[in-house]
């Protein structure tokens, strides 16, 4: 009898514990779902819910709600869980590095380019990476696939493919000109050196490409990659500076220099070769590799004084800038984040924005800039545009017709970029729209 009672007590206790755990599990799930649904609602209000370019598509029939995709994504709140299934939240913030795709234990994620409603324009590229303009090749994100590893792989393969058709004797100065020194351009450069080609790499900015301008230090690489003239690297989690240092080291060790701060503006085909025109020189080459990514070139203000050394289009080391009078131009996330970072370093920051309120900001940035305005950390000059930049001042036009002159040491311009499609069209490269095509599929 006693044993029977003991057993009943043990079974009851076990049942209570199991029910308790199940209850807690359901409660956590319910809370998680509620949170995600609220985030989705906010993302829709701010216009971030609709994907713009590359984004994950979750097959709910397969998804088991492990949450591995949520944990793996370093961008925050791209995916969340609702009732144990993955759902897109701020899909427009996806940068396409595919960490979610690789993390999913049941292969429920596909990486897709564009949506049925919103197409993405991509250049036509053959499996050999050649465009419809014979002799011009494309590697990296410009072709549609966004990942450091993919860019590196494509850079190498494109050069391998170009080598096949370089004439042994030609009158051009170079065999290959590589445009862009992001992951694709650097890998292509190293591969070109491995092939003993006569090549030149031109970069409008500095080496590193998009990686160089990441707003965060952490870089995710989901699998090892083979770097020419170096070997296999297993950088599952690294920092942008480590990665850029590694590239710089390999380039230096092999005595390869890249023409930085030189922008290619035109490519002209003649006979069997090309003339590549930059803001500094004209070069002739047999083949051209476009590794220019999809982020384009920063848009300029087009005002007197803009070419002076105190004007920047990228904020790199805010921690080194103190006690300056700074004007940040723009009203997007980059402008707001930069203004806030500079204000935190004890600078006197003004922000010139042509509209009367901020639209389409990340909710967090919206709140942060509102707080900074209240605390007088950033002086926002709504309805204003820059008229002129002098060595110690900036002159601003306001919509009501007034003109203001403010003292100034540095100007940071974040007014978007010129996308590369125009450049491609000028060269004659065909562009087609992709409406929801899978780029990474299990
Ligand atoms: C915020 C953010 C975070 C990301 N995080 C990751 C991550 O963690 N892991 C990952 O794998 N991927 C990540 N990605 C994606 C990754 O950065 C890109 O897929 C990769 O950099 C693409 O390489 P690319 O060489 O094709 O182009 P890019 O890196 O964009 O390089 C192109 C280069 O071409 C230059 N260029 C452009 N036009 C010209 C011209 N006319 N003349 C001369 N030079 C020109 C540009 O200045 C640039 O340096 C991230 C992207 C972003 C935006």
- Please give the pLDDT value at position 1: 65
Nearby residues of 193 by Cβ (< 8 Å), 6 or more positions away: 199, 228, 229, 254, 256
- Ligand 1 centre and the CA of 291: distance in Å? 9
276 lines ligand 1 (CB under 6 A): no
What count of Cα atoms within 13 Å lies in the side-chain half-sphere of residue 158? Answer: 35
- Ligand 1 centre and the CA of 207: distance in Å? 10
Nearby residues of 205 by Cβ (< 8 Å), 6 or more positions away: 212, 260, 261, 314
Give the percent of the chain with pLDDT over 70.
99
Distances (CA, A) of 61 to 30, 65, 77, 108: 20, 11, 22, 8
Nearest CA, atom 22, ligand 1: 141
Write b or e for each residue in 252-268: b if 16 or more Cβ atoms lie within 10 A of its Cβ, otherwise e. eeeebebbeebebeebe
- Ligand 1 centre and the CA of 116: distance in Å? 26
- Please give the pLDDT value at position 74: 76
User: What pLDDT, in 10s, does the model give residues 218-230?
Assistant: 777 767 899 999 9
Nearest CA, atom 6, ligand 1: 97
298 lines ligand 1 (CB under 6 A): no
pLDDT of 43 higher than 90: no
Nearest CA, atom 48, ligand 1: 209
- Please give the pLDDT value at position 211: 84
148 lines ligand 1 (CB under 6 A): yes
First and final C-alpha spacing in the chain: 59
Q: Which residues pair with 297 in a beta bridge?
A: 418
Q: Are the C-beta atoms of residues 70 and 58 closer than 8 Å to each other?
A: no
- Please give the pLDDT value at position 343: 97
C-alpha–C-alpha distance, residues 358 and 356, integer Å: 7
Instruction: Read off the pLDDT band of 125 (50, 70, 90).
Output: confident
- Ligand 1 centre and the CA of 66: distance in Å? 31
Average pLDDT over residues 10-15: 88
- Ligand 1 centre and the CA of 162: distance in Å? 22
203 lines ligand 1 (CB under 6 A): yes
- Please give the pLDDT value at position 216: 63
* The Cα angle at residue 205 between residues 99 and 394, in degrees rounded to 5: 110
53 lines ligand 1 (CB under 6 A): no
Nearest alpha carbon to residue 151 among 298, 289, 258: 289
User: What pLDDT, in 10s, does the model give residues 280-326?
Assistant: 999 999 999 999 998 888 888 999 999 899 999 988 888 899 999 99
What count of Cα atoms within 13 Å lies in the side-chain half-sphere of residue 294? Answer: 19
Of 77 and 259, more confident: 259
Tell me the average pLDDT of the chain.
Answer: 90
264 lines ligand 1 (CB under 6 A): yes
pLDDT of 236 higher than 80: no
Nearest CA, atom 41, ligand 1: 264
Atom in ligand 1 nearest the alpha carbon of residue 220: 8
- Ligand 1 centre and the CA of 348: distance in Å? 32
- Ligand 1 centre and the CA of 8: distance in Å? 65
């Amino acid at each position: 009898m006693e044993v029977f009672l003991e057993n009943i007590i043990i079974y009851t206790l076990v049942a209570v514990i199991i029910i308790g755990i199940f209850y807690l599990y359901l409660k956590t799930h319910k809370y998680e779902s509620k949170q995600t649904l609220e985030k989705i609602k906010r993302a829709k209000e701010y216009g971030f819910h609709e994907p713009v370019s590359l984004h994950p598509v979750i097959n709910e029939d397969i998804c088991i709600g492990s949450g591995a995709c949520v944990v793996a994504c370093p961008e925050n709140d791209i995916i969340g869980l609702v009732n144990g299934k993955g759902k897109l939240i701020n899909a427009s913030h996806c940068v396409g590095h595919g960490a979610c795709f690789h993390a999913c234990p049941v292969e429920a994620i596909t990486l897709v380019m564009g949506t049925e409603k919103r197409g993405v324009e991509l250049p036509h590229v053959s499996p050999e990476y050649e465009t419809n303009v014979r002799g011009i090749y494309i590697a990296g994100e410009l072709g549609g696939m966004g990942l450091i590893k993919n860019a590196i792989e494509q850079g190498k393969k494109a050069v391998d493919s170009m080598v096949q058709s370089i004439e042994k004797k030609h009158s051009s100065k170079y065999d290959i000109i590589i445009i862009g020194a992001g992951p694709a351009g650097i890998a292509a450069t190293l591969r070109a050196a491995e092939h003993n080609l006569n090549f030149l790499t031109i970069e409008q900015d500095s080496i590193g490409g998009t990686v160089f301008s990441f707003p965060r230090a952490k870089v995710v690489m989901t699998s090892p990659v083979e770097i020419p003239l170096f070997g296999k690297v297993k950088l599952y989690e690294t920092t942008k500076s480590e990665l850029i240092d590694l590239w710089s080291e390999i380039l230096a060790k092999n005595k390869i220099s890249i023409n930085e701060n030189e922008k290619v503006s035109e490519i002209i085909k003649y006979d069997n070769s090309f003339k590549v025109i930059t803001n500094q020189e004209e070069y002739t080459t047999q083949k051209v590799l476009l590794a220019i990514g999809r982020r384009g070139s920063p848009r300029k203000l087009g005002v007197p004084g803009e070419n002076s050394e105190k004007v920047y289009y990228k904020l790199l080391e805010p921690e080194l800038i103190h006690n300056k009078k700074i004007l940040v131009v723009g009203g997007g996330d980059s402008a707001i984040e930069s203004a806030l970072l500079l204000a935190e370093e004890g600078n006197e920051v003004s922000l010139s924005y042509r509209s009367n309120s901020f639209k389409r900001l990340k909710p967090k940035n919206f709140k942060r800039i509102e707080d900074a305005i209240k605390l007088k950390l950033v002086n926002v000059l709504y309805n204003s545009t820059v008229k002129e930049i002098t060595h110690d001042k900036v002159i601003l036009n306001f919509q009501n017709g007034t003109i203001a002159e403010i003292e100034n040491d540095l100007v940071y311009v974040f007014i978007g970029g010129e996308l590369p499609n125009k450049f491609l069209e000028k060269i004659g490269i065909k562009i087609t729209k992709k409406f929801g095509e899978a780029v990474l599929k299990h």
